[in-house]
C-alpha cells in the first residue's frame, strides 16, 4: 500500500466523517443551508474530502491507470501537467532555434512577412554557423539584378498544348477535409491575389478551391476523389468535366507523400458528410478506402500511359506526378519507361520525407523516405544523366519557410518550390500539432465550423499573399547577391555545407552526372547497380 493510498483511507475514514460530524454539530444536527453558512471553512473541507473520496475510490477500485490505482487523485496532477507540457515547452523553455519541425525563429519570420511587418534581424545570427551540416551560400562582389521574366517559369513539355507560366513559390497539396473550408478559401484567395498556384491535395477539388479564381493544380490520389466510379476505379468523364475548367492549370498524380509514403488511408463513414460525398464522389456515411497504390496501373510504363491519358482528357494541360523518393531503382525504372515509351511527364514533384501537414503513423513519418534536398539533388542528376532534364520541370517541397529554403532547392535542381505548412502558419497556425484531433485551436486543420469561423477570409488571404511575395523577394535578392541574374543558373556547387569541420558543396558531397552519362559505359558506382537493375516493366 503506497503512502498516497494510506492518505486516501485517512481522508475517507477519518477526515470526511469528522468534517461531516462538525457540520452537524454546528447546525444542531441539521445540514440546512443557514447552518452550513455558519461554518464556511468546515463546509469547504467537507466538500473537498467528499470529492477526494469519490474520485479516489473510483480510481482505486475501478481505474485502469496504474498510476491512478497506486496514487489515487494525486496522479491526476501528473496528467494535468502532461496536458499543458507542449505549451509550457513552446512558450517558456524552447529557445529560438531548437523547436521542430519549425523553430520559433522560422515561425516568427513567416508571421512577420505575412503581416508585412519588419522582418530584419538585430544583433547578428543566433545560428551556430560552424555546426555540422549547417548550410550557407557564398556571395559575389558582382551583384546582379534578376530580370522580371526569370522570376516565373513555364511548365509544359513536347506533348503539352496548354503550358502554364508558374511562380517560383506555390501552395503545396492541402485537402479540404484535412483543412477547414475557410482555410482552403483563404489560401485560394491569397493565390489569386498573388498570382501563384494552389494544389488541391488528394481530397478532391472543392468549391472552396474554386471560390476565388486562384490557379489550381488538381492532385489525383489513389482514391481518385472527384473523378471515380462507385467501385473506386478512375472515371474518365468525371475527370474531363473538371480538368477542362480554365482555373485548372496542371494535373498532378500522387504516387506517394513525404509524411507517409506507401501508406493508404481510410475515411470513416461517420466523417463522410453530404458535402464530402459530393466533392469526392462517394456515398454518404460509407467508409472510403484510399489504397496504397493506384488501381489504374502497377508498372512504370502503366504510370506513363496514365500520364498521357490524363493529358489527353484535360485538353493538353501539363500533367506530372508527385513522389517521395524511396527505392532509387524504382525511380530509375520510371526513367527507363520514359525512354522506352517516349512519354514524358511535364513535371515531377519531389516531396521530402520531412513533409507532413496532417496525421501519419509515427514509423512512416520518422523513418521512411528521402529528405527533400537529397531527393531533389538525386532526381535532378538522374534526369541529367538520362538526357531528359531539359524536357521535364521539377517541383520540390519540404519545410520551405524562407528565401534560402527556396534557393537551396532550386540550386539542387528544382524549378519551383511548394510550401504547405508555411502557408498554414501564414494563415495563423501556431504549431499546436493538433491536426489529427479535429480540435485545431486556430480553425485551420479542423472540420468544426465553430473553430473554423476564427479565420477571417479577407485578412488571412492578404497574409498568404504577403508571405509568398516577400519570400520570393528574399529569394531573388539572394540570387542577385550571389551574382546570378537568373535563378535557373544556380547549381549544387553553390550550396555550402559544413562537413567534418570544413566547408564543402553538394557536388563534392554527392556524385554528379553529366548529360547522357547513364547511356555510356562510364556510370558512377553510386548509380550503376540501380540503373542496371531497373526495368520499365516493373517497380
pLDDT averaged per 10 residues, the chain (length 539): 82 85 73 70 84 89 88 88 86 83 90 92 85 91 92 95 98 91 96 98 93 96 94 95 97 89 73 86 85 94 98 98 96 98 98 76 82 96 98 96 96 97 94 86 91 94 98 96 96 93 90 96 94 95
For residue 119, give the C-alpha cell.
522582418
pTM: 0.89
Among residues 455, 471, 487, the one where a domain terminates is 471
pLDDT at 209: 95
Residue 143 lies in a domain: no
| 192 and 315, same domain (yes or no) | yes
Domain interval for residue 28: 3-86
C-alpha–C-alpha distance, residues 213 and 216, integer Å: 8
Among residues 471, 499, 526, the one where a domain terminates is 471
Contact between 426 and 114 under an 8 Å Cβ cutoff? The reply is yes
pLDDT at 360: 73
pLDDT at 357: 64
Total domain count for the chain? 2
pLDDT at 279: 92
pLDDT at 371: 92
Per-residue exposure over 448-482, b if at least 16 CB sit within 10 Å of its own CB, e if not: eeebbebbeeeebbbbbbbbbbbbbebbbebbbeb
pLDDT at 36: 67
pLDDT at 325: 95
| 48 and 157, same domain (yes or no) | no
N-to-C CA span, the chain = 61
C-alpha–C-alpha distance, residues 199 and 382, integer Å: 26
Residue 119 lies in a domain: no
Vertex 289: Cα angle to 283 and 295 (nearest 5): 105
C-alpha–C-alpha distance, residues 375 and 354, integer Å: 11
Residue 263 lies in a domain: yes
Residue 80 lies in a domain: yes
| 55 and 201, same domain (yes or no) | no
pLDDT at 44: 84
pLDDT at 35: 63
Amino acid at each position: 500500500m503506497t503512502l498516497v493510498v494510506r492518505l486516501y483511507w485517512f481522508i475517507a475514514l477519518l477526515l470526511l466523517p469528522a468534517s461531516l460530524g462538525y457540520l452537524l454539530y454546528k447546525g444542531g444536527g441539521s445540514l440546512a443551508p443557514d447552518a452550513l453558512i455558519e461554518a464556511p471553512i468546515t463546509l469547504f473541507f467537507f466538500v473537498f474530502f467528499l470529492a477526494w473520496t469519490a474520485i479516489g475510490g473510483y480510481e482505486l477500485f475501478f481505474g485502469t491507470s496504474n498510476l491512478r490505482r497506486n496514487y489515487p487523485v494525486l496522479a491526476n496532477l501528473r496528467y494535468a501537467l502532461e496536458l499543458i507540457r507542449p505549451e509550457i515547452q513552446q512558450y517558456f523553455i524552447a529557445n529560438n532555434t531548437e523547436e521542430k519541425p519549425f523553430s520559433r525563429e522560422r515561425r516568427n519570420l513567416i508571421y512577420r512577412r505575412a503581416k508585412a511587418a519588419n522582418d530584419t534581424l538585430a544583433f547578428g545570427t543566433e545560428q551556430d554557423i560552424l555546426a555540422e551540416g549547417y548550410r550557407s551560400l557564398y556571395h559575389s562582389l558582382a551583384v546582379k539584378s534578376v530580370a522580371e521574366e526569370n522570376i516565373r517559369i513555364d511548365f509544359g513539355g513536347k506533348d503539352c498544348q496548354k503550358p502554364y507560366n508558374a511562380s517560383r513559390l506555390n501552395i503545396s497539396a492541402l485537402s479540404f477535409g484535412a483543412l477547414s473550408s475557410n482555410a482552403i478559401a483563404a489560401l485560394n484567395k491569397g493565390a489569386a491575389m498573388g498570382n501563384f498556384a494552389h494544389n488541391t491535395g488528394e481530397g478532391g477539388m472543392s468549391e472552396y478551391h474554386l471560390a476565388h479564381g486562384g490557379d489550381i493544380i488538381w492532385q489525383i490520389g489513389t482514391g481518385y476523389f472527384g473523378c471515380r466510379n462507385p467501385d473506386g476505379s478512375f472515371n474518365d468523364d468525371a475527370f474531363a468535366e473538371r480538368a477542362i475548367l480554365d482555373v485548372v492549370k496542371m494535373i498532378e498524380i500522387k504516387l506517394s507523400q513525404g509524411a507517409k509514403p506507401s501508406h493508404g488511408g481510410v475515411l470513416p463513414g461517420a466523417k463522410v458528410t453530404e458535402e464530402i460525398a459530393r466533392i469526392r464522389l462517394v456515398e454518404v456515411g460509407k467508409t472510403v478506402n484510399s489504397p496504397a497504390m493506384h488501381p489504374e496501373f502497377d508498372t512504370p510504363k502503366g504510370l506513363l500511359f496514365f500520364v498521357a491519358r490524363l493529358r489527353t482528357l484535360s485538353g493538353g494541360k501539363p500533367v506530372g506526378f508527385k513522389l517521395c523518393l524511396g527505392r532509387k531503382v524504382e525511380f530509375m525504372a520510371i526513367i527507363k519507361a520514359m525512354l522506352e515509351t517516349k512519354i514524358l511527364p511535364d513535371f515531377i514533384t519531389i516531396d521530402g520525407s520531412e513533409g507532413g501537414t496532417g496525421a501519419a503513423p509515427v514509423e512512416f513519418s520518422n523513418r521512411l523516405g528521402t529528405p527533400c534536398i537529397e531527393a531533389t539533388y538525386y532526381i535532378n542528376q538522374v534526369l541529367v544523366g538520362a538526357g531528359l532534364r531539359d524536357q521535364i520541370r521539377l517541383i520540390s517541397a519540404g519545410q520551405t519557410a524562407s528565401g534560402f529554403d527556396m534557393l537551396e532547392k532550386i540550386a539542387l535542381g528544382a524549378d519551383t518550390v511548394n510550401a504547405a505548412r508555411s502557408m498554414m502558419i501564414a494563415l495563423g497556425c501556431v504549431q499546436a500539432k493538433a491536426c489529427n484531433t479535429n480540435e485545431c485551436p486556430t480553425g485551420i486543420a479542423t472540420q468544426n465550423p465553430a473553430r473554423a469561423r476564427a479565420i477571417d477570409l479577407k485578412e488571412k488571404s492578404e497574409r498568404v499573399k504577403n508571405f509568398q511575395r516577400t519570400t520570393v523577394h528574399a529569394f531573388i535578392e539572394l540570387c542577385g547577391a550571389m551574382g546570378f541574374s537568373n535563378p535557373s543558373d544556380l547549381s549544387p556547387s553553390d550550396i555550402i555545407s559544413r562537413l567534418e569541420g570544413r566547408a564543402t558543396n553538394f557536388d563534392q558531397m554527392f556524385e554528379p552526372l553529366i548529360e547522357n552519362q547513364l547511356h555510356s559505359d562510364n556510370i558512377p558506382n553510386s548509380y550503376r547497380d540501380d540503373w542496371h537493375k531497373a526495368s520499365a516493366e516493373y517497380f
